[in-house]
């Protein structure tokens, strides 16, 4: 028995790195597959409603796909609007940016005692090799990235159709591979569905409020591109914890060019920080509740891990994947301790919840 246990442990140690390696090299399949599963979960209640109304499954799937495509069209229109906003920039902003960069360079040189050569142009081009930045060979790389993105979107829609049509059934997969018991797999799937739907709805709602709040702050303080920054805040907020810091830091640096370093800049930074704190640190936990809260350390570890495996998509999906894994681990006595480590609940609350 001990030899069998040791052999199984060694096989597990060997298998785990292989699985992670396959997840990384086959990311072009797994990212759309997992992302489409989370999307499909949002529409499963609607699909059940259509089923109760005796609406054919094909028509139900078409309705759901139209809803998804409407969301993509709205997102595309917002991107176009923000692009027009940036392209319409007049020379005033560029002159102001040039002045602030020159002033910053002078201050840095004075601080470190570095003097420029006589007549040398103190601008950003002195630090950036513009001839290397403007390289027409990079247009091919951009086109390749755009092609990959469109391919990923189409694959996500394709997999979403398979999930919605139950050609790929989460409940059956859990029943045949992990849980082995029909009642347990149904209960676990319902919990996964409920928690992930709640998580994603709250995350989208909070991110939307964050984007609107950031855009309004930019508009109120006369910072350029409020639509772009609102859209950026909405998207980056899906990266748990890290997104808020990135948004505040980048927007503060940009505002340094736009605003005079007086009380206006200070209050603007306070405003965008307050938006992130209000929606991300106060309202989001209230809306989420404590039903599936994850330990902060576990969040950071999962962000680093899935970010390493799948890049930006991994950062976005890290928390839903962790919620999924945590719910599965709670169903096995041997892995409940790991689930407790992932959870932010204290042991007493956790035991009461399980009862």
Place of tokens 């969301």: 71
Query: CB–CB of 343/57 below 8 Å?
Result: no
| DSSP symbol at 343 | B
User: Which pLDDT value is given to residue 214?
Assistant: 94
Binning pLDDT at 50, 70 and 90, where does residue 290 land?
A: low
| DSSP symbol at 140 | H
User: Which pLDDT value is given to residue 351?
Assistant: 38
Bigger pLDDT: 35 or 114?
A: 35
How does 86-124 read in b/e, with b if 16+ C-beta sit within 10 Å? Answer: eeeeeeeeeeebeebbeeebeeeeeeeeeeeeeeeebee
For residue 91, which phi and psi values (nearest 5 degrees)? -70, -15
Average pLDDT value over all residues in the chain: 79
Task: Kindly state the average pLDDT of the residues 104-111.
Answer: 68
Binning pLDDT at 50, 70 and 90, where does residue 273 land?
A: very high
Q: How far is CA 39 from CA 154, 299, 320, in A?
A: 14, 21, 11
Give per-residue pLDDT as tens, 129-178.
Answer: 444 444 545 556 667 777 888 888 889 888 988 888 877 777 777 777 77
Task: Kindly state the average pLDDT of the residues 263-276.
Answer: 90
Task: Kindly state the average pLDDT of the residues 218-234.
Answer: 90
Binning pLDDT at 50, 70 and 90, where does residue 31 land?
A: very high
- Work out the angle between the directed axes of helices 27-52 and 57-87 (0-180°, nearest 10): 130
Q: Flag whether the pTM goes above 0.95.
A: no
Which residues are CB-contacts of 57 (< 8 A; sequence separation ≥ 6)? 47, 50, 51, 165
Question: What does the DSSP assignment read for 241-285?
Answer: THHHHHHHHHHHHHHHHHS-TTHHHHHHHHHHHHHHIIIIIIIHH
Query: CB–CB of 295/344 below 8 Å?
Result: yes
Nearest to 343 by CA among 355, 332, 325: 325
User: Which pLDDT value is given to residue 83?
Assistant: 77
| Count of beta carbons in the 10 Å neighbourhood of residue 41 | 23
Q: According to DSSP H, which parts of 26-56 are helical?
A: 27-52
CA–CA gap between residue 53 and residue 39 (Å, rounded): 22
Which residues are CB-contacts of 341 (< 8 A; sequence separation ≥ 6)? 295, 298
CA–CA gap between residue 34 and residue 290 (Å, rounded): 24
User: Which pLDDT value is given to residue 174?
Assistant: 74
Give per-residue pLDDT as tens, 313-352.
Answer: 898 898 889 888 888 888 888 788 888 888 765 444 433 4
Token digits for 108? 């840095």
For residue 255, which phi and psi values (nearest 5 degrees)? -65, -25
| DSSP symbol at 120 | -
Question: Taking 50 as the threshold, does the pLDDT of residue 128 lie above it?
Answer: no
Question: Taking 80 as the threshold, does the pLDDT of residue 236 lie above it?
Answer: yes
Token digits for 355? 């009862």
Binning pLDDT at 50, 70 and 90, where does residue 272 land?
A: very high
| DSSP symbol at 116 | P
CA–CA gap between residue 67 and residue 42 (Å, rounded): 12
Question: Taking 60 as the threshold, does the pLDDT of residue 118 lie above it?
Answer: no
3-state class (DSSP) for residue 294? strand
Which of these ranges, 35-44, 103-112, 125-134, 228-237, has the smallest mean pLDDT? 125-134
Report the share of the chain in percent with pLDDT over 90.
Answer: 16
Token digits for 346? 């204290």
| Count of beta carbons in the 10 Å neighbourhood of residue 352 | 9
User: Which pLDDT value is given to residue 2?
Assistant: 58
Q: How far is CA 111 from CA 16, 105, 107, 125, in A?
A: 52, 10, 6, 21
User: Which pLDDT value is given to residue 287?
Assistant: 77
Report the share of the chain in percent with pLDDT over 70.
Answer: 77
Token digits for 206? 């909070």
């Amino acid at each position: 028995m001990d030899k069998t246990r040791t052999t199984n442990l060694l096989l597990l140690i060997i298998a785990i790195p292989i699985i992670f390696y396959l997840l990384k090299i086959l990311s072009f399949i797994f990212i759309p597959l997992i992302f489409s599963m989370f999307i499909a979960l949002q529409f499963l209640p609607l699909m059940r409603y259509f089923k109760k109304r005796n609406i054919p499954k094909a028509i139900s799937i078409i309705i759901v796909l139209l809803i998804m495509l409407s969301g993509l069209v709205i997102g595309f229109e917002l991107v176009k609007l923000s692009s027009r906003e940036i392209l319409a920039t007049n020379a005033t902003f560029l002159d102001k940016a040039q002045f602030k960069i020159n002033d910053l360079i002078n201050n840095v040189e004075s601080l470190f005692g570095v003097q420029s050569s006589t007549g040398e142009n103190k601008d950003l081009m002195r630090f950036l090799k513009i001839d290397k930045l403007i390289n027409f060979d990079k247009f091919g790389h951009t086109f390749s990235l755009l092609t990959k993105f469109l391919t990923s979107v189409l694959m996500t829609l394709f997999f979403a159709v398979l999930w919605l049509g139950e050609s790929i059934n989460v409940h059956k997969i859990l029943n045949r591979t992990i849980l082995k018991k029909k009642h347990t797999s149904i209960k676990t799937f319902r919990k996964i569905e409920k928690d992930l739907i709640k998580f994603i709805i709250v995350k989208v709602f909070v991110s939307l409020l964050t984007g609107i709040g950031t855009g309004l702050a930019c508009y109120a303080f006369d910072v350029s591109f409020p639509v772009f920054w609102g859209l950026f805040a909405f998207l980056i907020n899906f990266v748990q914890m890290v997104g808020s810091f990135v948004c505040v830091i980048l927007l503060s640096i940009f505002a340094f060019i736009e605003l005079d370093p007086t009380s206006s800049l200070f209050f603007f930074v306070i405003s965008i920080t307050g938006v992130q704190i209000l929606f991300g640190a106060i309202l989001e936990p209230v809306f989420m509740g404590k039903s599936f809260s994850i330990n902060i350390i576990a969040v950071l570890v999962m962000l680093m891990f899935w970010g390493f495996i799948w890049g930006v998509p991994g950062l976005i999906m890290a928390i839903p994947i962790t919620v999924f894994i945590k719910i599965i681990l709670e169903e096995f006595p041997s892995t409940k301790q790991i689930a407790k480590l992932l959870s932010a609940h204290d042991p007493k609350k956790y035991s009461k919840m399980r009862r």
